[in-house]
Structures are given as C-alpha cells and as structure tokens.
Amino acid sequence: MSVFGEAALSAFLELLSAKLLDSVLNLVADHRQVHQQLKLWQSILPEIKAVLNHAEEKQIKDEGVKNWLDDLQDLAYDVDDILDEFAYQELRLKLQKTQAQASTSKVFYLTNVVLEDLLPKLSYLRVLFLAGGADSIERMPSGFDQLTKLQMLSNFVIGEGDGHLIRELKILSNLRGNFCLSGLENVNGQDAREAKLNEKLGIDGLGLQWGAVLKNSTKKKEVEERVLDFLHPQKKLEQLIIENYGGVKFSSWIADSSFKNLSDFEASQL
C-alpha cells in the first residue's frame, strides 16, 4: 500500500511540475492559452490543500508519507507563487500596452478600461497601486470582493451612484499599510458601516476624501457625519487625513483616547 501511495504521489508531482513548466513555455509561445491553464491550477490548489488538511487531522506518523506530504505542500506554495506572478505580469503587460497607445509618459496609469478588463482575472493579486491616486481613475468596478488575497490597495474610488460598492471592502480583511477612500460624497451611512473598516487591523495610514465640488453645489452634512461615524478605523492607526469633509462636527472616535498611536492628523472642511 505504501509503495503504491509513493508511486502515485510521485507521478502526480512529476505530472503537475511538468505542466507548470509547459505552461510557462506556452506563455512565451501564446499568451492567450495560459488563461485556461491558470483556471486549472486554481481548481487544483483547493484539492491539494484539502489533502494536506486531512493528513494533518489524521496526524500521520509514517516518515515516508510525511515526506510526500511535505513535497505536496511545497508544490502548493510553488503553484500559488506562480499564479501570483502571472497576475502581476498580465497587469504589467496590459498597462504597458495601454501606456504605449496613450502617451510617452514614464508613469503608468490604471484606467477604468484596463481595471474592468483585468479584475476578474486577478483573484491572486496582492498589491494594487494607483499611481495617480483618485485622479487616475473615475470609479472602481464591481468585483473587489473577489480579491481575497489583496494586501495593499492605495486607493478605492467610489463613483457617482456606486456607493454600495464600498461594501465589497468587507471581505478584504488582509488590507494593510496606507489606504485611501475617495468619492465619499457618493456613500451613505449604511454602506459605510458595511465596509467594516474597523476590522482592517493592518491599516496604519488612512485617507478619507470627499469631493471638493458637487454638481448641485450642496453638501449633505448629516449624511457625511454618519459616513464618518461608521468609517472609524482600527485603534492602532498612526495617520489620519480627512479632506473636504462637509459635516458640522467630527466623529467622537477621532478624539477617543484609545487611539494612542495616532501621531499625524490632518483635516479640511468645506
């Protein structure tokens, strides 16, 4: 039984490793064919992890089996890393193509067209940086709740009529570093509450931006006050910047003594 298991697992590892190599070569030959292979890897990963979890529950003692499982674990990590690399390279190539068509500038801007086209294919993305901030993109498309591995997102831009999309941030529990929310004039209190910003324990720098000019030249003061109330961050926050806020009063959490690490606070009101 052990001999059969060793042969089967070894064959599986060799087959999957060969597929990884072949797919990398295929990327050079025909980039379009890679998407089908990526989907296959994405379906294989949960199966590998299920085997590993089952083995852990059984607390297998056999040294030979444990070695096979270690190899399987390493393979799972390798597949995960390669998927990350493909996601990054695809985004980079798409940006370069867009940049070449648009201008001769050395700065790559992530446009709405590029983002909407690529977002469904970037489930393994961990870092998304908008080089031009909120000025480089009008709105975020739906689908950010699928980027469950995303760790760094420089800016989340909420377009007119898209206030509900801020709710997709609820799923992104791994966000860390500096993070900015733009277009908050398009958000209501309930949507802001569902973003669960206080559960993003890795965010240490937060920017909250309302639009400077509205089409009707009015600010809904009570709505903006509720939005700010519900966007209270985790208590280890170090930096907070609030721009173009239209409320009459600031939220009580800003002066809360539990925010002991808050060393940089800037605010502007309209």
For residues 248-262, give the mean pLDDT: 91
Q: Does residue 204 fall inside a structural domain?
A: yes
- H-helix or E-strand containing 235? none
Q: Does residue 88 fall inside a structural domain?
A: no
Residue numbers of the domain that contains 193:
109-269
Selected residue with higher pLDDT from 264 and 74: 264
What digits encode the pLDDT tens for the residues 155-176? 999 999 999 999 999 999 999 9
* CATH code for position 245: 3.80.10
Task: Tell me how many domains the chain contains.
Answer: 2
- pLDDT tops 50 at residue 151: yes
Q: Does residue 43 fall inside a structural domain?
A: yes
Are 141 and 196 within one domain? yes
User: What is the pairing mode between strands 127-128 and 152-153?
Assistant: parallel
Q: Does residue 90 fall inside a structural domain?
A: no
Are 249 and 120 within one domain? yes
25 CB-near residues (< 8 Å, 6+ apart): none
Report the distance separating Cα 223 and Cα 90, nearest Å: 40
What digits encode the pLDDT tens for the residues 225-251? 999 999 999 999 999 999 999 999 999
User: What is the pairing mode between strands 152-153 and 155-157?
Assistant: unpaired
Are 119 and 38 within one domain? no
Q: Does residue 94 fall inside a structural domain?
A: no
Q: Does residue 93 fall inside a structural domain?
A: no
What digits encode the pLDDT tens for the residues 82-124? 766 666 666 666 555 544 544 443 333 455 555 666 666 666 6
Q: Does residue 146 fall inside a structural domain?
A: yes
Is residue 184 within 8 Å of residue 210, measured between CB atoms?
yes
Report the distance separating Cα 199 and Cα 171, nearest Å: 10
Are 53 and 139 within one domain? no
What digits encode the pLDDT tens for the residues 40-67? 666 666 777 677 777 666 666 677 777 7
Are 121 and 232 within one domain? yes
Report the distance separating Cα 197 and Cα 121, nearest Å: 25
Are 130 and 199 within one domain? yes
Report the distance separating Cα 127 and Cα 119, nearest Å: 13
What digits encode the pLDDT tens for the residues 175-211? 999 999 999 999 999 999 999 999 999 999 999 999 8
User: What is the pairing mode between strands 239-245 and 264-269?
Assistant: parallel
Report the distance separating Cα 270 and Cα 47, nearest Å: 54
Are 7 and 60 within one domain? yes
Among the listed residues 159, 113, 155, the one whose alpha carbon sits nearest the alpha carbon of residue 134: 155
Residue with tokens 């648009």, as numbered in its chain: 102
Is residue 141 within 8 Å of residue 114, measured between CB atoms?
no
Are 33 and 118 within one domain? no
